Amino acid sequence: MKVLILGGGQLARMLVLAAAPLGIRCQLVDPAAESCAAELAPWHQIPWQALPERDDLLEWADVITFESESVPAEVLAALAARRPVYPSPQVLAKGGDRWLEKQWLQGLGIPVADHRCVQSLAELQTAVAELGCPAFLKWRQQGYDGKGQWRLHEASDLAEIWQQAEGRPAILEAGVAFEREVSLVASRNTRGEIRCYPLTQNLHRNGILVCSEPQAADPLQAEAEGYARTLLETEQYVGTLAIEFFVCEGRLIANEVAPRVHNSGHWTLEGAQTSQFANHLRAICGWPLGETTLIAPTAMLNLIGRWPAEPAALAEAGTHLHLYGKAPRPGRKVGHLTLRQPDQAQLTRQRQRLQQWLEETGALPAP
């Protein structure tokens, strides 16, 4: 099988690494000036709008997939007329726009926070009056890892915040008093087979994911799987996705859908029988999905901004390092550590110890 991956970042890199043992050949397309996946597979720097004219790449590929929502949905639709594209352009159009995404989830019976569409300062002022504070202003498209998002307080200067938002179409979400943040990663193949991973508990700082830890027996697993299966089956979704949730008074409220492999599923590389990347490739190739069960207590720590030169983490048993080949930069994900231990107590001690070390060395933001 030959897979054309749209995007050349760390998710594409890990897809290529997962493809090799399966005998899948990959090529990459990305309009950016650099690609951290380019050292692993042929990379083509092509503007998205020019891609449908590249007959050489389209004739080479058996199937096309993407690693981020930055690919225009209309480009995916043009590609889908020539080759199978998974997930579908229709799903990307919904999942890549926060306003459409909220309507989509509500239509499926999946709870979301109260929200308003905002396209002007006057609409922002009206929305804040209706929803109150705290609230969050988010660009409808793009924006991740804390970018394109603003927390609004009672004393917020709305005119200044709207100026920072550059007047781009946005949504205002009511603040949710949540007890924890979780996500569910799931895969569905072309045959309709579905596999769900254990619900994962996440910790964010400054809008960036810091730590993910799968839960062996989370009481909300069945509820999360029910929502995921509804979405996957209704959309005839093919590939891996993640749904982020807030836990409020013991129930789930959906935050976002990522129609792709996801940062909170990186623990699956060492912690699950089959990684999210391998299952995504199996799914889009029409192959049987692999087991998603948890091997042992596992956690993932992101490396943000830099990777310390000291090899202290590698000296610890059960620690696995993944570097993405990216130059250090504040707020940038340059890699992650996966931790796996025989029991939960050992994992908790190791995670806390390494998290503190990463904070002290500047590879994690301090609390």
Q: Which residues are annotated as a binding site for ATP?
A: 98, 138, 143-149, 173-176, 181, 204, 255-256
DSSP 53-99: G-HHHHHH-SEEEESSTTS-HHHHHHHHTTS-BSS-HHHHHHHTSHH
Task: Determine contact, residues 137/172, Cβ cutoff 8 Å.
Answer: yes
User: Which residues belong to the annotated binding site?
Assistant: 98, 138, 143-149, 173-176, 181, 204, 255-256
DSSP-assigned beta bridge partners for residue 254: 112, 245
From CA 273, how far away is CA 37, in angstroms rounded?
24
Q: Could you tell me which residues come within 8 angstroms of residue 317 by beta carbon, excluding any fewer than 6 positions away?
A: none
Q: Could you tell me which residues come within 8 angstroms of residue 360 by beta carbon, excluding any fewer than 6 positions away?
A: none
- Assign residue 8 a region: left if phi > 0, alpha if psi is -120 to 50, beta otherwise? alpha
* Tokens describing residue 294: 């948890």
- Number of Cβ within a 10 Å radius of residue 337: 26
* Tokens describing residue 157: 């200067």
Task: Determine contact, residues 61/3, Cβ cutoff 8 Å.
Answer: yes
